Structure 1
Amino acid sequence: MNAVAVLRSPGVARLGGAGLLSEAGDWMLFIALPVFVLQLSGSPLITAAVFALELLPTVLVGPLAGVLIDRVDPWRLMSCVAVLQALLLLPLLLVDSAADLWLVYVVVVAESVLGTIIEPCRTATAASLVPVGDLMAVNQLMAVLSSVARLVGGPVGGLVLALGGIDLVLLADAATFLAAAALLVPGCRGAGRPAASARVRLFRDWADGIAVVARVPTLRRAMGVTACMALAQGAFVVLFVLFVFRDLHGSETDVGLLRGVQAVGAVAGGALLGLVSRRSGVPRLVAISLAVFGLVSLLTWNAPAVTTALGVYVGLFIAAGIPGLAAMTGLVALLQEHSPEEARGRVMSTFFAVFGGVQALGMLLAGLVGTGTGLTVALQVQAGLYLLAAALATRLGAGAPRVTGDGGSPARPRSTAASTG
């Protein structure tokens, strides 16, 4: 089944539509809030600190959020979180000066905590809506919708900011969360999951989820690949800006353009992903995609020796979006497929926590790099990390078969385990 056909599976359209709306709103705020904070504070450091705060809940709260995801009806959880995301934006309407920036810090952390819950919950829920054989298709669909949200939300956020200021952006973002919640409400099944919530042993259940990752070879290896990818991605966030200014002699506009066009490649690549994955297999697809991503990165970082024409780099960044989407989609599908259903939320939360934590480490390490020879070396190392991740990914297909709830034989495909009807 391809990504379009999988929309017919009960619940998938609602889940994808809700994700598209809420992520478009996220990108609107992601574009507008840095400008607003910089205007109030006049400090790039304070602006950067606001967004560094977003990583903390992913690392600290993420694994524990997985316990909640595995114990509560996922549709009800996601709809409630979406409403809270809308309500918690409203205090930002009170921010008028630099003295009010503490409200921004509080809201950013609170929104990040809620995002730490809803992202792995959406991923775990998507896996329960389709048979195992359609995991790549449903993840492909979600990834393409996420890229569309990025393409739409960013420009709209800038336009809304110009027309109505930050207050209009906040209200528009809140509206997207409420619309997403409305789409998710029909999925609430009333009975929810087994009434184990009263008996939740928070840290023990979290430790049990970590034990699942450690016990299943594919999950264990996938986390190693994730860590390597995240280190490279974190370094990219810092090194990329330095590269544009030093090597391409570009501007802030060029930085925004090159970051945005990667989503174009992701959308285009999504159309081919299903065909490629069926022919090569998911583990091999992940390894090949990471290798291609690493090679495109090497080509990009060294191309200024030949040309600094911006059009060349637009093409390279679009090209990088294709293997980038394929690698992440395949990796998520493997995590979903090899996770016991009752622990899938904790596995996915662990994945997001590892990615966020190591990504932060990559940012810090890259922040120590200067703009001279150190930057040149760091760029090569960053691309090399993707090649190392590709080498690690060649082992993803080896080891034990898919596990069931008891860690035994392969699971039978399920078509509508969490369907909305």
Structure 2
Amino acid sequence: MFGTFLLSTAGDELARVALTVLVYQRTSSPLLSALTFAISHFPWLIGGPLLSTLADRLPRHRVLIATDVARAVLLAVMAIPGVPLPVLLGLLLVVSLCAPPFESARSALMADVLDGERYAVAISLTTVTLQVAQVAGFLLGGALVALHPSLALGIDAATFALSAVWLSARLQRRPAPAPPEAGTSLWQDAATGLRFLLGTRRMLAIIAVTWLGALFGSAWEGIAAPLGAELGRGSAAIGVLLAANPAGVVVGGLLLGRLVPPERRERLVVPLVILSLLPLLAAGVVTGVGGVEASTFPTVLALLFVSGLGASWLIPLNISFVQATPAALRGRAFGVAVSGLYGVQGIGALAAGLGAEGVAPSTVLALCGGLGMIVVAPALVAYGRTQHRASAATDAEGAPRE
């Protein structure tokens, strides 16, 4: 599971940055460039809650293998030279529809296999791996786009094919955790997962912090191409800009997973969320003031890296989420949560691109940080209150109630 996750993530990011740069080169439109970056997130919003129910209804290993095979075939078609841009974007949308059942099955299966501190360490390692794969994919994608985007898409197809073979050969077969009752539809299963997430203040607070923090923390990625142009840099620098933030998450995840005691990780969520947004405000101001000066680019990279350090808040929130979710509901719960996460990331990228049509990309970057801290503040307050209640319940009864 770990190795195949690394393979497919690196391939995905490589293809995403290649298509984003390609669209910007052909159209010179920040909005269309942002739409290309965001299009892989929208299927989560459209079909995520529904398709993720397959991770509870079917054996999870079958869901993983089938979705990898489908993506390998579709990306191989996309890699054929000369495919029109609208067809490429349409196929990208279909490829992205395979992500909800795959990620829901992978996340739920990992929680089935590991428990306690082993799961916490695994989440930290997986988060770090995700960011390393993103860094590698962004950097390689920025370099390969100068050659031909078909090469990047072909590599992405190969990673999914290899992942499917590896999972088929090595993953232990397990029965479906919650076989559907007679007459139960996918819609009813999806509704069950949604009701569970919205049924307690603690789960609602965790979801609110996750979605709002991701909305403003990652929206600027949709304008990486025009931001790089404002800084006076070429295509390869776009990959470097996009890689700086996940590089910070790598370091932050390692520090959280190895140096911070389990009982303290959750207490760091609020300051880490602020740390993920404040540097974006500073980076936007620095870019707007410094422009194409030689020192501006490395300063912006450093600030994006610091923002990534703060973005490691996802690790303790993920652990809290799993601890509060029954095993039979994990596929659906993950599906709804991740659907919203990807959905808000796509909306944020699209909104950033729309904003960059009228104002400088650096202004949009600053707004992501400034507005983000204001909007996420009520969610952080609510989360802090439920955290104290959960801790009190655990001290009194030995297990959390809320």
TM-score normalised according to structure 1 size = 0.80
Corresponding residue number in structure 2 for 1:90 = 76
CA distance in structure 1 between the partners assigned to 2:202 and 2:339 by the alignment? 18
- How many Å separate the matches in 2 of 1:315 and 1:17? 29
Which residue does 2:359 correspond to in 1? 371
- The aligned length equals 387
CA gap 1:263/1:314 in 2 versus in 1, 3 angstroms? same
Q: Counterpart in 1 of 2:239?
A: 256
1: distance between equivalents of 2:198 and 2:279? 32
Deviation at 1:232, TM superposition (A): 1.0
Partner residue in 2 for 1:273: 256
3-state DSSP class of the match of 2:359?
A: coil
Written as runs of structure 1 = structure 2, the 5 A alignment for 1:250-329 is: 253-278=236-261, 280-303=263-286, 309=295, 310-324=297-311, 326-329=312-315
1:376 and 1:126 map into 2 onto residues whose CA distance is 35
Once the two structures are superposed, residues 370-413 of structure 1 have per-residue CA deviations (whole angstroms, 9 ceiling, x without a partner) of: 4279759735223444555544432341445899xxxx9959xx
Pick one of 199, 205, 208 that aligns with 1:215. Answer: 199
Partner SS state of residue 261, structure 2: helix
Which residue, out of 233, 258, 279, partners 2:217? 233
1: CA distance, partners of 2:86 / 2:216: 31
Q: Is the 8 A contact 1:227 1:354 kept in 2?
A: yes
Q: Flag the 1:93–1:260 CA change in 2: closer, same or farther, 3 A.
A: closer
Other structure's SS at 2:385 match: coil
1:220-275 CA deviation, whole Å, 9 max, x = no partner? 111111232133135433577666666x5666554432221222222222221124
Please report how far the alpha carbon of residue 96 of structure 1 lies from its aligned counterpart in structure 2 after TM superposition: 1.3
Which structure 2 segments of 5+ residues have no match?
none
Counterpart position of 1:397? 387
Q: Return the letter of the residue paired with 1:382.
A: G
Moved more, 82-91 or 305-314: 305-314
Partner of 1:131: 115
> Equivalent residue for 2:15?
29
TM-superposed CA distance for 1:55, in Å, is 2.9
Question: Does the aligned pair in 2 maintain the 1:297–1:383 contact within 8 Å?
Answer: no
Does 132-141 or 195-204 show the bigger shift? 195-204
> What displacement does 1:115 show?
1.3
By how many angstroms is 1:359 displaced? 3.1
Question: Which shows bigger deviation, 60-69 or 289-298?
Answer: 289-298
1:329 Cα deviation (Å)? Answer: 1.5
Instruction: From the superposition, tell whether residues 135 and 388 of structure 1 become closer, same or farther in structure 2 (CA, over 3 Å).
Output: farther
Question: Paired residue for 1:9?
Answer: none
Tell me whether 1:206 sits opposite 2:190 in the alignment.
Answer: yes
Specify the alignment match of 1:417 in structure 2.
none
